[in-house]
Structure 1
Amino acid sequence: MKINDLQPKVAIMMATYNGQKYLDKQIDSILNQTYHNWELFISDDKSKDETLEILKKYQKKDSRIKKIIVNNGVHGPFTNFYNIMRFVKKNYKDEFKYFCYCDQDDIWEKSKIEFQVKKIKGFEKKFIDTPILCYSDLRLMDKNGQKSNKLLSSFTHIKLENPYNIFFSHRYVWGTTIIHNEALWDLMNIDIRIPNSVSHDNYIGKYAAAFGKIFYLDKALVNYRRHGDNVSGVPHGYNFYRGLLRAFTKFPTVLENHSKTYGSTLFFIRNVPYKNKLLDELEIALTTGGIRAERFVKEYSICTAKDIFNQIAFKLILYSGMYKYSKDFRI
């Protein structure tokens, strides 16, 4: 009996664009996983460099690189992910037990998938027939692949102690660290045209928070490359003085971020397969503001940041409803 016969099958979905400089290291880290029963699906956003040639070279090397498609629709980092997600969902129904997502420029630890599958299987035994998502910490490395001793959790509070915080902040679940089960995959509506302003990892996380369970794995399973062209940046915590400075100089940016977050949350609520009490109350809070928003924050113990200035900004923007008048609130 082959080892693959004993391992649940994992789908890995990758989005690429002009990734020739770092792509080979990421794919090598997938090929070198201690877990073997996976298949890789890739959507390329019409790269202008040698990305497609590199991908085809690896596909000849390993048949588990199952499909490479080109995104001929709306372009952008998140719509490119939705493109490959739609492809897998349409063409590989009921074939996979677990699902992972992959950026083009990071490096996975060899035990990433094996560790995550073991953990999520344990949670499934406890929470039978429940949509489950697990995500982990990341270790920072420079553009040359030199690992540091710095973890992303040292820069921002990524541990999602209250799952409902994910509807108000994008700082928690990072896509390249995700693994989730088939129950969550079956729930997700990706047939719709999702705007590029709605990040795939936060969209998936919202499904888990609304209908299932989210678990943080306190281990760095991904080496996160910082090279200046990353789609996502490293959030920063703020001490008293830095927070005060940000309150005065960066408020437009804070408002813009909240506007995008609340807009993507309303998009999510209005496209789920069914609503529950949480989502009904959340929609009222976001569309009404004021007392209804304050009641929601208190009822669900929402707190998206530890420093006082971010807390004040969060409540001011939400309660006043000023985000609805921002040019970034488009959904």
Structure 2
Amino acid sequence: MSTYNGARFLREQIDSVLGQTYRYIELVITDDGSTDGTIDIINDYVKGDTRVKLYQNPQNLGFVRNFEKAIYLCTGDYIALCDQDDIWEPDKLQQLVNNIGDNILIYHDSQLFNEEGLMVKVSDVFNMYEGDSPLALLFYNCLSGHAFMFDKKLATYLKQNGPFDPAFYHDWWIAFVAASYGSIKYLDKVLVQYRQHMNSKTDLIRIRGEMDNSGHPRYFHKSLPWLKKCYTVKGKYQQFIGKLIYLLEHKTWLNSFILLYHLLSKVSTTNYIDQKSAISKLNFLRKASFYKVPQVNSR
């Protein structure tokens, strides 16, 4: 769990973790310099439950590096990321452990909710992915950190591929590395109540809106730093990603069309589950537009 000034909802989140039907857990909490009573709340749990371990950062790392630190402090066979303000269903971990099989990472559906009353499943917003192609995650990601659990060997691969870059979402990076070294499984069950905040950097509805523009050539050029980060992974398709980078760095309209051709020929959509129909997308937009949907900044 990564925490930073999360006192308001923290007890509800911690209680939902410690109340899991799967009992063999440790709760590793890395705090990033909270000043609002978060530490006092966590220490109450540390005193009463040996499964809870608190690590305080001497200086603020930001949420990406804070999650990275927490991952490497975990000692279990599987690692599940946890936000500071969501609510886990009691059988979340048991369901994931039972279904991960030989996959390196498994993730599930979630119910989004906010203070204005919006309630919608992540699968209503995103096409969910299952498979072992990192190319499918180059310009599109449906895996949220709060929803996945991975084999501890993925932590080794992450460390081998260098530090997390704060410029990119930690869960996008973890998902890409996972697909580069193993396979990803999707579990079609809602196992987390995921709280969306005003001005949140991890607002999934806003992120989906940005990704809807990912087919436009200008979007590819904005993605160049991300592609260069992905290219550092010595896994499947590294050479292909290098070709994409070359096409983007030598910007012409012809290269843009070549780039699109390469992507369409290489990246199969058959591993995306529940492709959203036009009607389902309209239903989602109708639902979402009824509320004042939050915008961007701080989690």
Match of 1:104 in 2: 84
Taking the aligned partners of 1:43 and 1:177, their CA distance within structure 2 comes to: 18
Pick which of 23-32 and 285-294 moved more.
285-294
Q: Secondary structure, in 3 states, of the residue corresponding to 2:178?
A: helix
- Counterpart of 2:180 (choices 184, 190, 210) is 210
Match of 1:118 in 2: 98
The AA in structure 1 aligned to 2:136 is N
Q: Please say if residues 31 and 54 of structure 2, whose CA atoms lie closer than 8 Å, have aligned partners that are also in contact.
A: yes
Q: How does 1:80-91 map to 2 (within 5 A)?
A: 80-88=66-74
Q: Secondary structure, in 3 states, of the residue corresponding to 2:128?
A: coil
Instruction: Report runs of 4+ in structure 1 exceeding 3 Å deviation.
Output: 158-163, 190-193, 254-262, 302-308
Match of 1:287 in 2: 246
Match of 2:44 in 1: 57
Match of 2:139 in 1: 168
TM-score of the superposed pair, with normalisation by structure 1: 0.70
Taking the aligned partners of 1:255 and 1:175, their CA distance within structure 2 comes to: 28
Q: Please say if residues 2 and 66 of structure 2, whose CA atoms lie closer than 8 Å, have aligned partners that are also in contact.
A: yes
Taking the aligned partners of 2:160 and 2:70, their CA distance within structure 1 comes to: 10
Taking the aligned partners of 1:48 and 1:237, their CA distance within structure 2 comes to: 29
Structure 2 residue 102 is matched with structure 1 residue 140: no
Superposition deviation, residue 174 in structure 1: 0.5
- Counterpart of 1:300 (choices 257, 266, 282) is 266
Taking the aligned partners of 1:106 and 1:223, their CA distance within structure 2 comes to: 6
Q: Secondary structure, in 3 states, of the residue corresponding to 1:287?
A: helix
Unaligned stretches of 5+ in structure 2? 249-254, 279-299
- Aligned residue pairs total 265
Root mean square deviation, CA, Å: 3.4
Unaligned stretches of 5+ in structure 1? 1-13, 125-130, 309-331
Distance 1:259 1:295, change over 3 A: closer
Distance 1:155 1:101, change over 3 A: same
Identical residues among aligned pairs (%): 28
Taking the aligned partners of 1:61 and 1:141, their CA distance within structure 2 comes to: 31
1:153-197: CA deviation from partner (whole Å, max 9, x where unpaired)? 112323457843211123x10001111113322222278443211
Identify the structure with bigger relative contact order (alpha carbons < 8 Å, sequence gap 6+): 2
Superposition deviation, residue 287 in structure 1: 3.1
1:77-124: CA deviation from partner (whole Å, max 9, x where unpaired)? 212111222334xxx4xxx2111100001000000000000001xx22
Taking the aligned partners of 2:25 and 2:223, their CA distance within structure 1 comes to: 33
Q: Secondary structure, in 3 states, of the residue corresponding to 1:194?
A: coil
1:209-228: CA deviation from partner (whole Å, max 9, x where unpaired)? 11210111111111011232
Structure 2 residue 32 is matched with structure 1 residue 45: yes
Match of 1:222 in 2: 192
Match of 1:326 in 2: none
Q: Please say if residues 131 and 183 of structure 2, whose CA atoms lie closer than 8 Å, have aligned partners that are also in contact.
A: no
Q: Secondary structure, in 3 states, of the residue corresponding to 2:7?
A: coil
Q: Please say if residues 168 and 262 of structure 1, whose CA atoms lie closer than 8 Å, have aligned partners that are also in contact.
A: no
Pick which of 70-79 and 158-167 moved more.
158-167
Taking the aligned partners of 2:56 and 2:221, their CA distance within structure 1 comes to: 31
Q: How does 1:1-331 map to 2 (within 5 A)?
A: 14-65=1-52, 67-73=53-59, 75-88=61-74, 92=75, 96-120=76-100, 123-124=101-102, 132-143=104-115, 148=119, 150-160=120-130, 163=133, 164-170=135-141, 172-189=142-159, 192-235=162-205, 261-270=223-232, 272=233, 274-276=234-236, 278-289=237-248, 290=255, 293-301=259-267
Q: Please say if residues 86 and 190 of structure 1, whose CA atoms lie closer than 8 Å, have aligned partners that are also in contact.
A: no
Distance 1:147 1:168, change over 3 A: closer
